Amino acid sequence: MSRPQPDSSPHCLEFHDVTVAYGRRPVLWNIDLTVDGPGLFGIIGPNGAGKSTLLKAALGLVPLAGGSVQFFGQPLRAVRTRVGYVPQRETVDWDFPVSVFDVVLMGTYARLGWFRRPGPRERELARDCLARVGLADVANRQIGRLSGGQQQRVFLARALAQQADLYFLDEPMAGVDARSQEQIFAVLSALRAAGKLIVVVHHDLRSASEWFDRVALVDMRLIATGPAAEVLTPENLQRTYAGPLDVLDELGRAVARRERTP
């Protein structure tokens, strides 16, 4: 039995009624969201809004209390190698005895499978990915001997080595110097140009509208989603960031100004 589908290709990423709870405390509530590539998609919201949790729920790192997530019309299991991931920088011990190159090589492990070691092809790929993030000259350095921005680019290079079609990045711009931000953004733009979908958890409202094509505003629930310029309105921001209002008004006005300027 085949249903006629209006669009032959399934969506890149679909959240159906996703609910996540830590114990009895709900973190995400009935998130319904469809994202299609190519493009840069921002998940925006205040601290503790569940942005990172949404990403981890999609990747199966936290259990769903309800709902489901589909990638390219399939469960994650079936398409793992098409999904790349850049976790938050603080999740690892940067004193670990591995070099920059070793870490990037880890991006090739999933395709290699059990017990097979990376060969010349994987090494070539890792070198290429390091060059793309501008870190070819520090390949042999221990990872702790890098700046925060460089560490973030190492993680990005590792994700590039996964050769995915859909990339998840968790706060890639947090604690990163301006030059690294530019470089990361350039790499993500190149991925978009290559037809990939990049989903980025981001907390900084000011840069959101210039970096992302589309965004989702999240604060436990999905507040709004769509093209960045349409979603990042003062009203929506106020609904999302229900904090000190004077600061928010100012931010909202700043975003509105940005929209008006060509």
Partner 1 sequence: MTGPFPLPYNTLVVAGGMAAVGCAAGVVGCLGVLRRRSLAADAASHATLAGVALALAATGRRELPVLLAGGLLTAIGSLVVLVMLRRFTRTREDAATAIVLGVSFGLGITLLSGMTARGIPGSAGLEQFLLGQTAALTAADAMLLGCLSVAAVTLVWVGLKEVVLVAFDAPFAAASGWPVFAIDTALVALLAVMVVVGLPAAGAVLVTALLVIPPSAARQWTDRVATMLVLSGAFGLTAALVGVAISAAVPRLATGPVMVLAAAAIFAASFFLAPKRGVWARWRQQRELQQEWSRAGRDPTQAPTKAAGRSGP
Q: Which residues contribute to the site for partner 1 (CB under 8 A)?
A: 56, 59-61, 77, 80-81, 83, 85, 87, 91-93, 96-99, 102-103, 106, 109-110, 112, 114-115, 117, 138, 142, 144-147, 150, 158, 162, 168
Spatial CB neighbours of 84, under 8 Å, sequence gap ≥ 6: 107, 159, 160, 162, 163, 164, 166, 167, 168
Least CB distance to partner 1 at residue 168 (A): 8
55 in Cβ contact with 32 (< 8 Å): no
**Residue placing its CB nearer to partner 1 in the complex, 142 or 233:** 142
CA angle, corner 158, sides to 157 and 159, nearest 5?
Answer: 90
Write down the least CB distance from residue 180 to partner 1, Å.
Answer: 11
Phi, psi of 17 (to 5 degrees): 45, 45
Rounded to a whole number, what is the distance in angstroms from the first to the last CA of the chain? Answer: 50
Between 60 and 226, CB nearer to partner 1: 60
Which is closer to partner 1, CB of 28 or CB of 231?
28
- CA torsion sign for 134, 138, 139, 144 is negative
- Reduce the DSSP state of residue 16 to 3 states and report it: strand
CA angle (122 as vertex; 60, 149 as ends), nearest 5: 65
CA distance 253 to 195: 33
Q: How far is the CB of 100 from partner 1 (least distance, A)?
A: 11
Nearer to partner 1, 119 or 226 (CB): 119
Task: Identify which of residues 48 and 60 has a Cβ nearer to partner 1 in the complex.
Answer: 60
**Least CB distance from residue 174 to partner 1, whole Å?**
16
Q: CB 7 → partner 1: shortest distance, Å?
A: 28
